[in-house]
């Protein structure tokens, strides 16, 4: 298996974007995954082939949501961050999960 590479991306407020090489299991091909991590520990992983992102709470490898990529044009990262922030604001407390601190 090829070694994963991680390239840093832009910082959006408290969200840090990076890009990780890997193999997409859906399309069985090498691809880049966008990983966006919040300072509080929340993070999301987005693969373009899937057109959805997986959201993970702090200190957990179990995802809490799979969210479709919001429609729009231009850079994907701000749309992913907005959707993740909305999901966390609307759902985290009722599930006993921390918010964005």
Give the residue with greater pLDDT, 30 vs 91.
91
Instruction: Domain of residue 41: give its range.
Output: 6-95
**51 with 71: CB under 8 angstroms?**
no
> What's the rounded Cα separation, in Å, for the pair 79 and 65?
16
Q: Which residue reads 């691809």 in tokens? A: 31
Structural domain contains residue 72: yes
Indicate if the pLDDT at residue 6 is higher than 90. no
Q: What is the pLDDT of residue 54?
A: 94
Domain tally, the chain: 1
pTM of the full structure: 0.84
């Amino acid at each position: 298996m090829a070694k994963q590479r991680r390239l840093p991306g832009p910082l959006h407020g408290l969200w840090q974007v990076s890009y990780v090489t890997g193999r997409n299991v859906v399309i069985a091909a090498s691809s880049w995954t966008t990983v966006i991590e919040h300072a509080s520990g929340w993070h999301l992983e987005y693969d373009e082939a899937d057109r959805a992102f997986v959201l993970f709470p702090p200190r957990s490898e179990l995802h809490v949501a799979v969210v479709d990529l919001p429609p729009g044009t231009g850079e994907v990262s701000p749309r992913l961050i907005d959707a993740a922030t909305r999901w966390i604001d609307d759902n985290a407390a009722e599930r006993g999960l921390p918010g964005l601190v």
